[in-house]
Amino acid sequence: MNVFRKFSTTVATILLALSAPLAWAQSQPVQVSISGNTATATIGEPLQPLAEVILEFENPGALTASSLGISANLVSVSDPALLARLPDAQLNQLAGAFPLLVTIEPPSTGGLKFRTVRVQIHTHALVYSIGSSYRLFKAPLNGDFTDITDEIAKGSMRANGTTGGFSQFLVLTDLRDTRTVVASKIQNVRARVDALPVAERDAFEALVSELQANVDSAQYDAAIAGARQLAQRARARADTGAIADEWRATRDVPNLAGDLIAAASSLEFSIAYLRDFGQ
């Protein structure tokens, strides 16, 4: 009988440990307000919110609180399923003071559309410092997270990034080598260029090759200018109708221009970080 009880207790302990990350995930209250092209989601208790998520849309349509589909959860920093979605579970870490996962999954019938959206996660749970390693990461629903940061700012800490789509966001520390990060973002830009119509690719590929050469030769200001040129050209070509440039809640067409603009913006940030703070 004692052996059976011991076995039962051991099994119960193991099952509890395995289920802990899921059990610990806590849904947070979310209040959304809309003003013009900006949506603000207050997360947590209204009198003492945990964070604000501010979404600034370019060319939005049907922007309402109900069309956004925002939810938020506190998650376990040791959840193996979550850690497996990070680029490097050792070097990309979720702060215990701010283990917040924000999910934005607009309903397909809500009619939301836009070219790009700038996402800002603002919290007093983290403290800004010059050269901060905090970054804004984004993932498709239950997919792998990638760095989309284009600014880290004071107040107490604001993590900003631009995206051509949604859906899940985390603020993580990123201790990876900055050159590695820049290289991965250049590859991301190249992948976005490869997705463009054939007639559009050559001009963009020439810009990426020049940017790569400038990074390799430590001509960082020139490389930053090249990243801006990429974004500017994407907008200009989208304005002529040459490149698809709209994310839609129906998810029936790729937002080619929006994704390229966002990738170039985040690449610019990382090149500037490499210039200012080294590897």
Q: What is the pTM (predicted TM-score) of this model?
A: 0.91
Instruction: Assess whether pLDDT exceeds 80 at residue 181.
Output: yes
Q: Examine the pLDDT at 92 and tell me if it is beyond 80.
A: yes
Domain that holds residue 226: 178-277
Q: Give pLDDT tens digits for 203-229.
A: 999 999 999 999 999 999 999 999 999
Token pair of 177, please?
A: 């080598």
Number of domains comprising the chain: 2
Q: What's the confidence (pLDDT) of residue 16?
A: 35
Q: Are residues 133 and 106 in the same domain?
A: yes
* Domain C-terminal end among 117, 151, 174: 174
Task: Match 């790729």 to its residue by tokens.
Answer: 254
Please report the pLDDT score of residue 219 as a whole number. 98
Q: What is the structure's pLDDT at 24? A: 54
29 and 151 in a single domain? The answer is: yes
CA dihedral 221, 227, 229, 234 (to 10 degrees): -170
The residue among 76, 135, 68, 125 whose CA lies nearest residue 101 is: 76
**Is the predicted pLDDT of residue 137 greater than 90, yes or no?**
yes
61 touches 111 (CB < 8 A): yes
Question: Which pLDDT score is estimated for 223?
Answer: 98
Q: Is 49 left (phi over 0), alpha (psi -120 to 50) or beta?
A: beta
Please give the Cα distance from 147 to 80 (Å, whole number): 20
Give the pLDDT score at 233: 98
CATH number of residue 150's parent domain: 2.60.220
